[in-house]
Amino acid sequence: MRRIASRLVTAAICGVLTLVVVATFAAPAGASTKCTNHDGCVLVLRVSGLIDPVIVDFVEQSARSVSRAGGYVATVVEIDSDGATVSNAELARFVGRLRHTDVPTTTWVGTGEQVRGAAAEMVAVLPRSAMAALSRIGEIGDQRLPVSKFGPEMDGSRSVLRNGTISAGTARDLGVVSRAVPTLQQYVATLHGVATHSVTRKGKAETELDSSVVFSKPEIGPQALHTIASPAVTYLLFAVGIGLLLFEFFTAGVGVAGVIGAASALGAGYGLGVLPFRTWALVLLVAAGIAFGIDIQAGVPRVWTVVGMGGWIVGSFWLFNGVHLPYPALATGIAGMAVAMISGMPAMVRARFGTPTIGRDWMIGETGEVTTAVAPDGVLVIRGAQWRARTNRATPLAVGDIGRVVAIDGLTLEVEPEEGGARDHRERRASAS
């Protein structure tokens, strides 16, 4: 047990160091404020996924880092988002600040992209927002931005936004956005202060930009944290963490699985700290892992594996509250856990600790060398094969000691010291047989 605890502590430390390395590069960075074009610049911030603290910091700092004096004439948030994970108060503060930046800030929904929930509210309340063809907006649900400050968003004909989505043209007609424009360049050309000129191509007049467009997105560190805090990645990291930590507990591994498992679990912990989740569902998933461990220790999937899979399925479906877990990720997590716990993990346990004990009564009385302290559980090597071993707590065996087999319980050998074994231990084994 001390060796297992040591491996898990090492794994946890390595996992923490992994997140520290990511966090070192995670300070949100604003866009460069330098604009070298005398006709001015437009800053375009590319945002995808849920609006979480990383995105809030990135957009705020970037929008506030540019100024009219620095040559910028507009900031455009190009957005593709299913909602927000920040609190209502934080969301209101964030959107309110974007409405009062030195350089006007607006939003653009690109071709084929969709904005839902709180992200749709953000698009609706920022002035001069626009959408491209094939984009959609809606499914706001209950309005999160305070009506007293931002006004009602779903009055009258705009009530369709509550539970459904609408096209760019419909959004323009209802006043949700100011324009429906085919491309980002054409939209930028309509913004106040942007310099343009007209050219004729094939007899058709076209507008070209004189102002420069500067694109920006979160740097690698913040982007990594933003990715981790997505429902799909958080859920899959949680599943990987549970699986690998179980492997580390019950197969006497060398620690690699524990390090990766601990790092995955810490990543999932970060994601759960950002995403809204149901506590009872998380507890159910952890309990499912404990149920899996009972049968993994025996090396055979039995009733506890069935119980664990039931808990895992229910917990997976109901884990997140208010954000959508994509079905491919859900299916991968459930199917992967089923394969690992019903087939993969028991097979690895059996392979790790030798052949089945059926017909191995000859092993009783055999001696072997302890390679992992048996106190009371550990590993014993007999004739070159590793076996899980267990002894009486009164007679622990250290690494290098010689142990004698006194009984066999499934895949586990009951052992005692070669000399000085506990008398009550042998008597209990004899009476049980």
Give me 124's structure tokens: 């609706």
- Per-residue pLDDT at 376: 87
- Per-residue pLDDT at 351: 58
Looking at 18-27, 203-212, 282-291, 338-347, which range is the least confident one? 18-27
Of 352, 375, 401, the residue at which a domain comes to its end is 352
Query: What's the CATH code of the domain at 54?
Result: 3.90.226.10
Residues 127 and 269 in one domain: no
Residues 159 and 144 in one domain: yes
Of 331, 352, 373, the residue at which a domain comes to its end is 352
Contact 248, 261 (CB under 8 A): yes
- Per-residue pLDDT at 27: 44
pTM for this model (two decimals): 0.71
Of residues 54 and 207, the one with the higher pLDDT is 54
375: containing domain: 361-432
Give the rounded percent of residues in the chain with a pLDDT score beyond 90. Answer: 52
Residues 187 and 302 in one domain: no
Residues 196 and 236 in one domain: no
Q: Which residues pair with 409 in a beta bridge?
A: 412
Residues 190 and 235 in one domain: no
Residues 385 and 259 in one domain: no
Residues 181 and 93 in one domain: yes
Residues 311 and 404 in one domain: no
Percentage helix, strand, coil for the chain under 3-state DSSP, each rounded to 5: 45, 20, 35
212: number of CA atoms within 13 Å, CB side? 12
pLDDT at 29 over 50: no
- Kindly list the distances between the CA atom of residue 338 and the CA atoms of 250, 263, 292, 307, in Å, as whole numbers in the listed order: 17, 22, 10, 12
Closest listed residue to residue 110, CA positions, set 9, 214, 181, 200: 181
CA pair distance 309, 289, nearest whole angstrom: 9
Banded pLDDT at 23 (limits 50, 70, 90): very low
Contact 81, 108 (CB under 8 A): no
Contact 118, 149 (CB under 8 A): no
Tell me whether residue 247 is exposed, middle or buried, using C-beta atoms within 10 angstroms of its C-beta: 0 to 12, 13 to 18, 19 or more: buried
CA pair distance 23, 246, nearest whole angstrom: 27
Residues 398 and 325 in one domain: no
How many domains does the chain divide into? 3
In this structure, the number of other CB atoms found within 10 A of the CB of residue 35 comes to 20
Residue with token string 């089923």: 338
Closest listed residue to residue 421, CA positions, set 397, 398, 400, 399: 397
Residues 301 and 322 in one domain: yes
Cβ burial 71-104 (10 Å sphere, 16+ → b, else e): bbbbbbbbbbbbbbbbeeeebbebbeebeebebb
Residues 123 and 231 in one domain: no
Of 311, 330, 352, the residue at which a domain comes to its end is 352
Give pairs for 379-385: CB < 8 Å, separation 24+: 379/252, 379/353, 380/405, 380/413, 380/415, 382/413, 385/353, 385/354, 385/355
Residues 392 and 338 in one domain: no
Please report, as a single letter, which amino acid is at residue 90.
E
Looking at 181-185, 240-244, 249-253, 354-358, which range is the least confident one? 354-358
Contact 129, 107 (CB under 8 A): yes
